[in-house]
Amino acid sequence: MASLPATRASRRPSRTSSRASATRFDRRLGHILDHATEVFCEKGYEGASMRDLSRATGMSLAGLYYYFESKERLLFLIQKHTFTTILEKLKALLENVTDPERRIRLFILNHLQYFVSNQQGLKVLSHEDESLKNGLSSEIAGIKREYYRICLELMEDLRRKRNLDFNTRTAVMSLFGMINWIYTWYNSRVDGNAEVLAERMGNIFLTGITSGGSGRKNRK
């Protein structure tokens, strides 16, 4: 990850133990980001202080400033880690699958699998979408654009191959609304797991765009 503290390399004790220490470091970083996510979720980005983050992560205030510089950098790392992970998982899932409807179902499933077990993360991403500035913001925007572009291509592919008639942008954005809004209501005891939800939402959405379209006879 490009955003590891620059001082780390020089601290490595030896070549052989570097992988083990990198893993430990990644785990520690993941732990810190999880706790920071909780704080941003509860207090909002503006309302959270470095002191709150220090308390929640168990890292000293000095250490937090030393390694992360600012709470903006922590928010950046949360966003980058999340979107990169989702994107990589998605690409792996889509490999070798050609049916356009099945590909959209995999997109939905991948997104829900990640966020059903990470609702706080989804809330922070949704609420702090514009909190990053300049360089950090544009790096995240780039990853998000790629994710959006993949979804748009999946949709256009389906539309072309099935000769369907719907507005791709509205369809993509409607789908993102359906699968992102879950952070406000999803309850595993009531709503089943990510697979159940992905099937139900996939049924509504895919029937909606494949059987519908602007030429639908009973449209009002």
**14 binds a copy of itself per the rule CB under 8 A:** no
Q: Which range of residues in 60-68, 86-94, 121-129, 133-141 is near a copy of itself by CB under 8 A?
A: 121-129
Residue by residue, DSSP assigns 131-182 as ---HHHHHHHHHHHHHHHHHHHHHHHHHHHHTT----HHHHHHHHHHHHHGG
The set of residues, in sequence order, having a beta carbon less than 8 Å from that of 194 and lying 6+ positions away, is: 109, 112, 113, 116, 117
**167 binds a copy of itself per the rule CB under 8 A:** yes
Among 34, 139, 156, 191, binds a copy of itself (CB under 8 A): 191
Q: Which range of residues in 18-26, 77-85, 112-120, 179-187 is near a copy of itself by CB under 8 A?
A: 179-187
Q: Nearest-CA neighbor of 32 among 1, 2, 67?
A: 67
Q: What is the DSSP letter of 6?
A: T
Closest approach, Cβ 86 to a copy of itself, in A, equals 17
Q: Which is nearer to a copy of itself, 34 or 199 (CB)?
A: 199
Phi-psi region of 57 (alpha: psi -120 to 50; beta: other; left: phi over 0): alpha
Q: Which is nearer to a copy of itself, 25 or 114 (CB)?
A: 114
**146 binds a copy of itself per the rule CB under 8 A:** no
Q: Which is nearer to a copy of itself, 8 or 145 (CB)?
A: 145
Q: Which range of residues in 26-34, 111-119, 153-161, 190-198 is near a copy of itself by CB under 8 A?
A: 190-198
**211 binds a copy of itself per the rule CB under 8 A:** yes
Question: According to DSSP H, which parts of the chain are helical?
Answer: 8-11, 18-43, 50-57, 61-68, 71-94, 100-116, 119-127, 134-161, 168-180, 188-191, 194-210
State the helix-helix crossing angle for 50-57 and 18-43, rounded to 10 degrees.
130
**98 binds a copy of itself per the rule CB under 8 A:** no
Q: Which spans of this chain sit near a copy of itself (rule: CB under 8 A)?
A: 43-48, 101-102, 105, 126-127, 129, 166-167, 169-171, 173-174, 176-182, 184-185, 190-191, 197, 199-209, 211-214, 216, 218-220
